[in-house]
Amino acid sequence: MFDTIFHYPRVLARHTEGPAANERARYLAHCASGGAARSTLLGLAPELLVIAQRIELDGGRSISFAEVEAAADRWVAYQRRHHRLRLASFSRERFVHTAAAWLRFLGRLQEPEEKPAAFTGLVSEFDRCLREERGLSQHTIHNRCWHVQTFLQWLSVQGSGLAELRLEQVDTFLALKRTQGWCRVSMATGVKALRSFFRYAGERGWCAPGLAVGIEGPRLFSHESLPVGPKWEEVQRLIASTDTDCHQDIRDRAILLLLAVYGLRSGEVVALTLDDVDWAQDILHVSRPKQRCKQEYPLAAEVGEVILRYLQRVRPHIRVRSLFLTLRAPFRPLVATSLHYLVSTRLKALKIICPQSGPHALRHACATHLVAEGLSLKQIGDHLGHRSTYATRTYAKVDLAGLRQVADIALGDLL
């Protein structure tokens, strides 16, 4: 394996004659079979050699995670003595991560015992209630359980339990999160999750009944702000900036068009699969998690051409069915946070200033553009996948032409 990576005899000899050469070669071959590029293997091989020089693998014994961390500390000390800390590409964290992955592949890593999260059983019961009895979406369940687990973890650190919980402790927790930067919306979301949990906990006898009623959060007013998104001309400039032969631009252009033309949410884009594009019927199938169904859209010619170009020239040919993948091996599906970074960095590079700079800003821009084109709120809501027109009403505030017509109505004798 080493002779396919290195060409210089001295470098090749250093790797073939080093400790645990067979084990290192097997892992490199495994990474190569997973799609790792030669440049990736060129960086990984020296790291494995350093790890093998500092962790004794003879005898087939298992290596504890503490031993891996101790070896990483020795590596950092060695670098400091020889004034090599400027070479931060192979840091302590990278040493531990690479060593753990290699030893795990060899079956030689003794995994550390994970401490169970506080009140794990109670959160699991709450999760089951939200899923089976309330029928909430997986995203909502995950969000509520995260907020509840965060609070219970804090409560455990305080040395308190649910049975003796007081409202003052909940207020202290919320005040702490406010000082840590939680905005009004985050505070309101957390309060809603805690109310839901303590309502259930009170029914099960885990805590004093009535706690949920006393938990107060910031008040949010319906439609208190305008939908925030870039102007449509700025969206067009954003998409035009990706009209190159760069692989990243080809992939990102397809993603931006789906966000801007169809107004998709970031989670809906990353959930698209190869099977969701019906080339024979020119139809795009979009999974709507809130409605628990799939919505069909006509596949616009320009969008279809961009997706086809991405599939033919950029997307790696692997068995994963997700439509959008990472550009570097190991190839894996994109996640929603990847799209936020994608959109925000491109908006910043073009100096497009917008209060919201993520994928949802393009969804707002799409809706605002449809309002300007004269579509009804019902049509816009159907296009955006809203469950009711209530969610679409906010875009009536950006219909300046319609609002001017209302202002110009002659009220006559009513005045």
State the Cα–Cα distance between residues 189 and 143, nearest whole angstrom: 9
For residue 168, what are the contacts with CB-CB under 8 A and spacing of at least 6?
A: none
Please answer whether residues 187 and 173 qualify as being in contact, where contact means their C-beta atoms are separated by less than 8 angstroms.
Answer: no
State the Cα–Cα distance between residues 409 and 396, nearest whole angstrom: 17
DSSP string for 130-162: IIIIS---HHHHHHHHHHHHHHHHHHHHTT--S
Instruction: Tell me how far CA of residue 110 lies from CA of 47, 55, 96, 99, 100, in angstroms.
Output: 20, 14, 13, 12, 9
Maximum Cα interatomic distance, the chain, rounded to a whole number of Å: 99
Strands 63-64 and 109-110: parallel
DSSP string for 242-306: T-SS-HHHHHHHHHHHHHHHS---HHHHHT-BGGGEETTTTEEEEEETTTTEEEEEE--HHHHHH
Residues with active-site annotation:
265, 290, 360, 363, 386, 395
For residue 357, what are the contacts with CB-CB under 8 A and spacing of at least 6?
A: 343, 344, 347, 348
Please answer whether residues 220 and 184 qualify as being in contact, where contact means their C-beta atoms are separated by less than 8 angstroms.
Answer: yes
For residue 121, what are the contacts with CB-CB under 8 A and spacing of at least 6?
A: none
Instruction: Identify the helix (H) or strand (E) that includes residue 109.
Output: strand 109-110
Residue 271 — φ and ψ, nearest 5°? -85, -10
Specify the 3-state DSSP secondary structure of 22: helix
